[in-house]
Structure 1
Amino acid sequence: MIVEILLVLGGLALLVLGGDLLVRGAVNLALKLGMTPLVVGLTVVAFGTSAPELLVSLSAALKGSSGIAMGNVVGSNIANVLVILGITSLVSVIVTKGHDLRESWAMMIGASLLLIAIAFTGEIGRLEGLILLAALALVLWRQLTTGKAEAPELEGVTPGAGWGKIIIWLVIGLTALPIGATLLVNGATEIARAFGISETVIGLTLVAIGTSLPELAASVASALRGRADMALGNVVGSNIFNILGILGITALIAPLPIPPEMMRLDLWVMLGASLLMAPFLFRGLSLTRPVGAAFLAAYGVYAWILL
């Protein structure tokens, strides 16, 4: 069991390191190639921060562990709202006024409902994967054509970064991510078997929290710099890409059966957690520390039910 735990911890460390360096390298490369910060923020950063989830889901699906692959995405979306926003709200109050994410939130809800509708068929096959990717293309087109002209603040920008640094960051990131994903999936699968816990539950909790660490680190860092509002955009964008991008790409390579237990609870918890954001985005309410504590308590109850 010690070996499996070390595999999980090593995998998580490589995912965090690889994700950070991949984003850093990709952002600086994109800016050097003349892409605008707006386009970089909506595409390169969004894809880069979700790279751990993508690699883990692909690795799990190819190994036949569809429970981990599905649980990773659904669990990450639940954790993004309840854990990431919860912890960030404890660090610094998240002010929603002046940050109109209502349309993006509606897209996130639409993606969640699309996933639930597909789940009723019992499997996310290649056709469903194409549908999810087509929806992602529409979301990106909408964001790119209606985005505000001003440049957003980007994580990972290093002024004057040379080609040597950029190449090193990309090589290390692209090497660490697949190795970390393989270690994490292998370790988590063995732990699940040893304790008699389903792979789906491991995916929904341990793996999901682990692959959400890059988003958590970015959100807390933003809060400490007085930009806690950035956590909202991180969560909404990540949740959209997790469903439409990660599940879409994974399903094209290896169709994903829907675990029956996920239809009974987890997909609805994911939708419910997303709906919890509505009062704050539509009424301009701030996410205060008591709200953050309530979010974390809600996740604790959910995890207790699972285990």
Structure 2
Amino acid sequence: MEYILLIIGFGLLVKGADWFVDGSSNVAQLLRVPPILIGLTIVALGTSAPEATVSIIAAAQGTADVAVGNVVGSNIFNITLVIGLAAAIYPLRVQNEMIVKQIPFALLAAVALFALGSDVLLQGSGADILSRGDGIVFFLFLAIFMYYIIEVGLKSRKETKAVRDSNVKWGKSTFITLLGLAAIILGGQFVVTNATEIALSWGMSEALVGLTIVAVGTSLPELVTSISAALKNESEIALGNVVGSCIFNILFVLGAASLITPLSINPVIFTDIWIMIVLTILLLIFSRTSFRIGRREGIILALIYVAYTVYIIIRN
């Protein structure tokens, strides 16, 4: 029965995120929000909603390894397989703003996670914990990022014309958004509960569950969205979705989860945090290559995820 509920949970997450993104994007169009803002905020937040739901529920249920592992695993999945497959389908153009500000901010968020969580290494404490104070710090960083995004949006808002499509209406868009959010919350509950039970019955650790099964499942919306955007030659949406999601996953998701209850960090996960940091640097390097992420770089990123998956399974 757990397997059926797990599949239903993933289905609700994916479909719920799809509705949430569609509804939010329509609302953004009605508000005349420019494409760069849609990719980095509306779409990124929508596709990060499963991670947020799963990690917050996991934190409330006391499974901190799933909460933290889900975020770190999702970010690694996004940077490697999501961008890798999207670039392999169609090379992604990278704007200078993405290289100078947005990817470096994602790197800052990753380094902040390592610094705030390394209580044993940096402070000599008895355990590594993301405290409520750390959660507040994450939200302060998020406020800075949102201020920057709003500033960008306001500067380019005049260039975006108001929507004249009669099919895009406030009532319908709001309903779809709320319906998607409800599906995400219910699906997240199913995923956390049943994935944990199944994995533990297999002898897997909670950390491995969060880094693999749950992380991949909650990252499916990013994968679908970015591949769809790549097929439509919408590089801003494809890349902005991933970078924005990585930022939201750390600053918003772990910030909210640690505010609910302090999260103890499994020492094993620090290796994965370092891998996430290195991969973010690699993404920055690839992006600076002729201001594009080509098919060769995409294939390399995808192969890195395959190697990483093999590594964490063997490590367990």
Query: TM-score normalized by structure 1?
Result: 0.90
Task: State the match for 2:44 in structure 1.
Answer: 46
Give matches, 1:277-292, under 5 Å. Answer: 277-292=283-298
Root-mean-square deviation over aligned CA pairs = 2.3
Shift of 1:27: 3.0
Task: State the match for 1:276 in structure 2.
Answer: 282
Offset from partner CA, 1:40-87 (integer Å, 9 cap, x none): 554433322211110000111111111111011001110111010111
Q: Find the partner of 1:36 among 14, 33, 45.
A: 33
Separation (CA, whole Å) in 2 of partners of 1:46 and 1:220: 14
Give secondary structure in 1 for the equivalent of 2:156: coil
Unaligned runs of 5+ in 2: 120-127
Aligned AA (1:216) = L
Cα pair 1:97 1:284 within 8 Å, conserved: no
Shift of 1:24: 2.0
Aligned in 2, Cα 1:145/1:4: closer, same or farther, shift over 3 Å? same
Separation (CA, whole Å) in 2 of partners of 1:90 and 1:229: 16
Offset from partner CA, 1:5-50 (integer Å, 9 cap, x none): 2222111110111111122223323544x46336555443332221
Q: Which moved more, 1:121-130 or 1:226-235?
A: 226-235
Aligned in 2, Cα 1:259/1:117: closer, same or farther, shift over 3 Å? same
Task: State the match for 1:192 in structure 2.
Answer: 199
Separation (CA, whole Å) in 1 of partners of 2:309 and 2:158: 39
Offset from partner CA, 1:216-265 (integer Å, 9 cap, x none): 111111111122453221111111111111111111112111111112x1
Aligned AA (2:249) = N
Separation (CA, whole Å) in 1 of partners of 2:151 and 2:272: 34
Separation (CA, whole Å) in 2 of partners of 1:168 and 1:142: 29
Shift of 1:210: 1.1
Offset from partner CA, 1:123-175 (integer Å, 9 cap, x none): 1111100000001001111222245516899xxx9753234422431332122
Cα pair 1:102 1:281 within 8 Å, conserved: no
Offset from partner CA, 1:188-207 (integer Å, 9 cap, x none): 10121111111111111111
Unaligned runs of 5+ in 1: none
Separation (CA, whole Å) in 1 of partners of 2:158 and 2:83: 24
Paired positions, count: 300
Q: Find the partner of 1:128 among 124, 134, 142.
A: 134
Separation (CA, whole Å) in 1 of partners of 2:300 and 2:68: 26
Give secondary structure in 2 for the equivalent of 1:277: helix
Q: Which moved more, 1:141-150 or 1:251-260?
A: 141-150
Cα pair 2:44 2:240 within 8 Å, conserved: no
